[in-house]
Amino acid sequence: MTPSSRSSGSLESYHKDHWVDIEPERFERYEQLFQLDDRRADLVLEPVGVQEGETIVDFGCGPGYVASQLARLVGPDGHVHAIDVNRAFVARTRQIADSSGRGDRITVHHSVDETVPLADGAADRAYAKNVLEYVPDLDAVLAELHRAIRPGGRMVASDSDFGFVVIEPLTPPEITELFDAAAPAFKEPFVGRKLRAAYLRAGFADVEVNVTASVDPAGHLRGVIENMLGYGLKFGRMTETRADVFRSRVDTAIADGTYLAVLPQWWVTGTKR
């Protein structure tokens, strides 16, 4: 299984195209970022509210570590439908499912048009982890997930809002500069604050919003920063010299212990009536 390294479409559609085709170096970074052991998964996925025996949609499953953990939580009577636009992620998800011994609980789907290949009301719950900031049409995706969830079922999303990120030693204007340079990689970089209204438009009720934060004093989120720098360089919105300044300051801070990154996650849940 080798991720595609073909160039991705026009800048206007890059927010989706760069997930359809992922260069090997970025794929490997995601492999590292998305790995979950059971203990960490219990903490990270607790807000999803998984119940044994449920059928769950993992929308935008990536390399499959979350799908495998969801399959553990639903137990032998539950099922997970893992969906992604990237063929390499789909293949990797199947590998992870089989190696975890939960392959019989996970069905993996390749979907390039943001559709959910399930009948109306077939799922008890849907989860979208850090994917709604990239989809071409947020309202259409939430409407499709609403369709696939049974009455009384729950929609759960966790996503970013780049207006709330902290990266010491970068100043707030420098953080804005970094994310502005990377902006074409995201359809909606401020999706966190927009999800509640989008849920309501899709027909979900009892919408709840909670914000948690990943606090990184050791450089674990360095790969995320490198992704942003790489996007800025790719789009010609940041120079190599400027990117090197950012890298040097962040890496020096990691080395001398003064680095700190805070990445908030917006957890939004809603019920289908």
Q: Quote the pLDDT of residue 137.
A: 97
Is 241 buried (19+), middle (13-18) or exposed (0-12) by CB count in 10 A?
exposed
Question: Which 3-state string (H, E, C) describes 174-208?
Answer: HHHHHHHHHHHHCCCCCHHHHHHHHHHHHCEEEEE
Q: By CB neighbour count within 10 A (0-12 exposed, 13-18 middle, 19+ buried), where does 80 fall?
A: buried
- The bridge status of strand 55-59 relative to strand 123-129 is parallel
What does the pLDDT read at residue 12?
Answer: 87
- Tens-place pLDDT, residues 48-71: 999 999 999 999 999 999 999 999
Q: What is the pLDDT of residue 3?
A: 36
Phi, psi of 35 (to 5 degrees): -65, 140
- Provide the terminal-to-terminal Cα distance of the chain, rounded to the nearest Å: 42
Residue 229 is predicted with a pLDDT of: 97
The parts of the chain modelled with pLDDT lower than 50 are: 1-8
Residues 39 and 33: their CA atoms lie apart, in Å, by: 16
pTM of the model: 0.90
- Give CB contacts under 8 A, 24+ apart, made by 165-172: 165/261, 165/262, 165/263, 165/264, 166/260, 166/261, 166/262, 167/225, 167/250, 167/260, 167/261, 168/253, 168/258, 168/259, 168/260, 168/261, 169/249, 169/250, 169/253, 169/258, 169/259, 170/246, 170/249, 170/250
Token pair 């890298």 is at which residue? 247
Evaluate whether 191 touches 161 at the Cβ level (below 8 Å): yes
